[in-house]
Amino acid sequence: MKEWRVGAAPSRSFPAAALPNEPIDSVPDAEGYLLTPGDALYIPRGYAHEAVTQTSSSLHLTVGIHVFTWADLLGEALHLVAAENSDLRRALPVGHLGSAFDKTHVAALVHNVAAVTSGSVLEPARLSLGSKLLQRQAATAGHFHSLDSVPDLTMDSVVARGFQGPCRVRATGERVVADYPGNYLSVPPFLAPALEHAVNTRTFTVGSIPGDLNDNAKIEFAARLVSEGFLSVVSNGKDTNP
């Protein structure tokens, strides 16, 4: 058994993890809940809480949903603006803790920061934030078995998507990128049809990979996607039909 103490609703809306938390002892109207094996307790965002084990040892599993906020989007946009503006990347002046900033200089910087709200920056920021969301680590099953099967890949080998979750393909400069949970793939444009096929087809043979590729190139492409965890090897093609 485990006792949980949960405080009242937070004083501010949508509290962020970076904001200071109040000690549970100082939270008014805290209520106690005694959980036994199999029980679940939902704690809304921002509610102060703590757990105390009773007379025996206890283990609990916490499942949280971590979302991106509008502040994250604007922060990503500011990061992109700073990448193109050397003034924003300069170090703060020596002794800044004990003296005021030059208001004229700060005003000029704020003018540069205003570019954060322009559509030309917000769209790349949205795409960049989406990539970070898709690249969050996700457990995959059977990856080491698939890696061991790479040397035996043939045109008849059957492969399938090696991950659970969404995938997005985007063009960036001279590359085509596929973002997926835990990783991303970057290929030259001539491999775009092969990549699109791998993204949109759950299970297929190596020989069915489209594009102007010979047999060895198809096998090498499939081997790379297996090594990156994008694909898993279902069979070597000798005994199993796709």
Cα angle 220, 221, 223; round to 5? 65
d(CA 77, CA 117): 8
Of 193, 191, 188, 195, the C-alpha closest to 230 is: 195
Cβ(234)–Cβ(149) under 8 Å?
no
Residue ranges of domains in the chain: 1-66, 70-134, 143-235
Whether the pTM exceeds 0.85: the reply is: no
Q: Residue 91's CB: how many other CB atoms inside 10 A?
A: 6
Q: What is the pLDDT of residues 30-89, one digit of tens each?
A: 788 888 888 999 988 878 788 877 767 777 888 877 788 888 888 888 888 888 888 888
Of 160, 152, 196, the C-alpha closest to 177 is: 196
Q: What is the pLDDT of residues 96-105, one digit of tens each?
A: 888 888 888 8
d(CA 27, CA 110): 39
Whether pLDDT at 121 is above 60: yes
CATH architecture of 143-235: Alpha-Beta Complex (3.90)
DSSP letter for 44, please: -
